[in-house]
Structure 1
Amino acid sequence: MTGRLEQRFVALPSGTAERSGPGGHPCQGCYLAPSGRRPRFGVLACHPSVDFSEHYLGPLLAARGLGFLGWNTRYRGNDSTLLVDHALLDVAAGVRWLLEEARVEGVVLLGNSGGGTFLAAYQAQATAGILAPADDRPLAPGLDALPPGVAFVAVAAHLGRPDVLTAWLDPSVTDETDPSGTDPALDLWAEGRHPPFDPAFLARYRAAQEARNQRITAWVTAERDRRRARGEGERLFLVPRTWADPRMVDASLDPSNRPVPACLAGDPRRANRSAFGLAACSTLRSWLSQWSLQTSPLRADRVLPHVVVPSLVVEADADTGVFPSDVRRFTELLGSADKDHQVLPGDHYFRQPADAREQLADRLVAWLAARFPL
């Protein structure tokens, strides 16, 4: 695990995005490998919109003999216009680079957090052609020729953007244009309401969260049709209050070693009233593509059954954003006959305890080495 690493900046066009006028490529990332030798297998880590070019696992896995491409889609840092089919073409550009330029024998798809169902969707499309249009426009060309991975690894991965957003939505919002107005009957922090929460309240709460997602989808569809009838194009809209999963404040729900109250943005009550959150800003088409329960392909039950390569699911035991029942469901849905669910000490990003990332890297390499000649 010692020795020098080679590092290379990789920038590529995508199937539906060329180099920009100022010179930037739509897809960018960083490739790490052991110095002086070509790894037999390459790991590609990617998220639909988070910058993974310097992913923490990169130097750790490269030091253990693997090639590692921390890869970004064209939507890095800004998912307000993200379209899943185009983002999958961006992943394909990175996979092809590993096969053709780094000359690895096979690519391991590593989905961390939101990258889990995203790369599962990539693998499912590459092998089973599962994608259908999220609205009434055709899919991007080139989706029938995606090079698949030879293995799939999910680390602290949730059940998909529509599902995690819905689980976090504040159902007490009564006006999407004015987040200050709420229905106290559905307010997680209403006066006199404290954990542990009543099961009847939780049932109403979860149903209202789904109903809010569906209301937004209905509005998006109607607004799209209205604008088209007037000869107008896209528009942006805001989605307020998206840090309100009861599990963020009630330790008795989905018990784990996580701190409570807590979410990935800190204190959930404060975060829920901030301007930052999932789907905070979106176009109409992007909502249908990545956030809608009804139309988005980024749902675990729609993609994971089609992932049949060897698969590893790693759960962080103190995760404040992905909970034990989510990970169990993720593992159950995988179509692979060779799948493993392992639990390691750590928060969502394995920053704690001090050796959490080293333990994770060791576990990933041991699992891969048992299946592939590294």
Structure 2
Amino acid sequence: MTDVRREFLGLPSPLAPRAGAGGYPCQGVYHAPTGRRPRTAFIATHYNVDFAEHYLAPYLAERGYGFLGWNTRFRGAEAYFLLDHALAEIAVGVGWLREQAGVEQVVLLGNSGGGSLMAAYQSQAVAPNVTASSTKAADAIADLPAADFYIALAAHPGRPEVLTAWMDPSVSDETDPLSLDPALDPFDPANGPPFSVEFQRRYRAAQRARNQHITDWVHAELERLATTRATDRLFQTYRTWADLRMIDPEIEPSERPPRHCYRGDPQAANYGVTGIATQSTLRTWLSMWSLQTSQCRAAPHLARISVPSLVVHARGDAGVHEDDARGILDGLAADDKTLELLAGDHYFTQPAGARSQLADLLGGWLGRRGA
């Protein structure tokens, strides 16, 4: 098997200073086959998860590709995320691949939540559309270098969509993590599982209403702060592990384990302190999580992606479903687009050999396209 070299990168951002302690805003690790300069390289970035040592990097480097696991300054700092700033910092990584690593073709790997983020990047690169938070940010994202391929891997349809699908609508008081509307409690056996079609309908409507209720409060709070010394604030969003599909495996059945989410038992996770959107600034909520205002929804961006595209779905994924993958495929503007369904969980930790099989799939797909 080909030896793999690793190179740590720390690079400046057009929108943030270098930290006083010395760290650069943009950081990552470049994997490549030893002694060779790849013609084609992947770049993978997430909204807040550290992708520097992405699990696929060594597998694809062994197969002759470069792989830049790339982090914006929002790694581990989801509460402060701004889409326009993140896109400008992804461009730093894409630019490094072309200008310093010398690759000829760049593959955007949109893994998990990164699916919609990388879709937004390519969308902005080919047809600028993202509303910027400042004039400086607008300049930074006005001319992004476009990629040559797009891959959605175990990808969610967008940040506001996944949050809304997972949030617990039985929360009756956003300031109280234990508040409860019993008629919507997904963990009360009186409501299910199995969950009736009528309960599912009410539940999904209440989830959308909760998202909108928070958005309305955020707008009102920003208006209130306009008369104060503050321009933003932090707030909590409680109980975001309550997708009915996590509890009832008969809803959109798949190979996922029953009563399971990415953090184990969904009831324990739902009443715990770790989850998506647990803390946000007002502006981050509008940029990332709001169904009404967020530009982190994949669909509008997919409609601007015309490069060859691949969608890969893990059949045992506990949080991404086959309908999500098919929706991403249908939304892509590319004439050359393919959907592949593989055995595996969200990060292909199982079954044995799943990651190697996945790397072979990606390499074969690119190879048939001359990359």
2: CA distance, partners of 1:137 / 1:351: 43
- Name the counterpart of 1:187: 185
Go from structure 1 to structure 2 and tell me whether the alpha carbon gap of 1:284 and 1:325 turns closer, same or farther (over 3 Å shift).
same
2:31 match: secondary structure: strand
C-alpha contact (below 8 Å) 1:243/1:269 kept by paired residues: yes
In structure 1, the partner of 2:100 is: 101
Instruction: Using the TM superposition, give the Cα deviation of residue 203 of structure 1 relative to its aligned residue in structure 2, in angstroms.
Output: 0.5
Please list the CA deviations of residues 68-98 of structure 1 after superposition, one character each: whole Å capped at 9, or x if unmatched: 1000010101111110100111100000000
Q: By how many angstroms is 1:231 displaced?
A: 3.2
Work out which of the residue numbers 139, 142, 153 in structure 2 matches 1:141. 139
Structure 1 position 18, deviation (Å): 2.5
Distance 1:160 1:103, change over 3 A: same
Letter in 2 for 1:356: A
Residue 123 to residue 338, structure 1, CA distance change in 2 (3 Å) = same
Point out where structure 1 has 5 or more consecutive residues left out of the alignment: none
Q: Is the 8 A contact 1:10 1:29 kept in 2?
A: yes
Counting only pairs closer than 5 Å after superposition, residues 273-352 of structure 1 correspond to structure 2 as: 273-352=271-350
* Equivalent position of 1:87 in the other structure: 86
1:12 corresponds in structure 2 to 11
**Displacement, 1:136?**
9.2
CA distance in 1, matches of 2:346, 2:8: 27
1:208 alignment counterpart: 206
Percent identity of equivalent pairs: 54
Match of 1:229, SS?
Answer: coil
Query: 1:59 maps to what in 2?
Result: 58
Q: State the alpha-carbon separation in 1 of the partners of residues 256 and 292 from structure 2.
A: 31
Q: For 1:145-294, list aligned pairs within 5 A.
A: 145-294=143-292
Q: Is the CA contact 2:29–2:52 (under 8 Å) kept in the aligned structure 1?
A: yes
Q: What's the offset of the Cα at 1:139?
A: 4.8
Structure 1 contact 46–91 (Cα < 8 Å) conserved: yes
Q: Distance in 1 between matches of 2:152 and 2:186?
A: 31
- Secondary structure of residue in 2 paired with 1:218: helix
Count of aligned pairs: 371
Please, what TM-score do these two structures have when normalized by structure 1? 0.97
Q: Which runs of 5+ in 2 are unaligned?
A: none
> CA RMSD of the aligned region, Å?
1.3
Question: Following the alignment from structure 1 to structure 2, what is the Cα–Cα distance between the partners of residues 37 and 231?
Answer: 56
1:36 to 2:19 alignment: no
Q: Deviations over 1:24-73 (max 9, x none)?
A: 00010000111111100111011111000000100000000001100001
1:16–1:140 CA contact under 8 A, matched in 2: no
Partners of 1:149 and 1:93 lie apart in 2 by 13
Give the equivalent residue in structure 2 for 1:130.
129
Moved more, 75-84 or 229-238: 229-238
Q: Give per-residue Cα distances to partners, 1:311-332, cap 9 Å, x unaligned.
A: 0000001000101111111111
Is 223-232 or 43-52 further displaced after alignment?
Answer: 223-232
Closer/same/farther in 2, CA of residues 137 and 220 from structure 1, 3 Å limit = farther
Q: CA deviation at 1:283?
A: 0.3
Cα pair 2:106 2:149 within 8 Å, conserved: yes
Q: C-alpha distance in 2, partners of 1:335/1:82? A: 27
> Helix, strand or coil for the counterpart of 1:145?
coil
CA contact (8 A) 2:309 2:334 kept: yes
Q: Post-superposition shift, 1:140?
A: 3.9
Contact 1:151 1:311 in 2 (8 A): yes
Structure 1 residue 160 displacement after superposition: 0.5
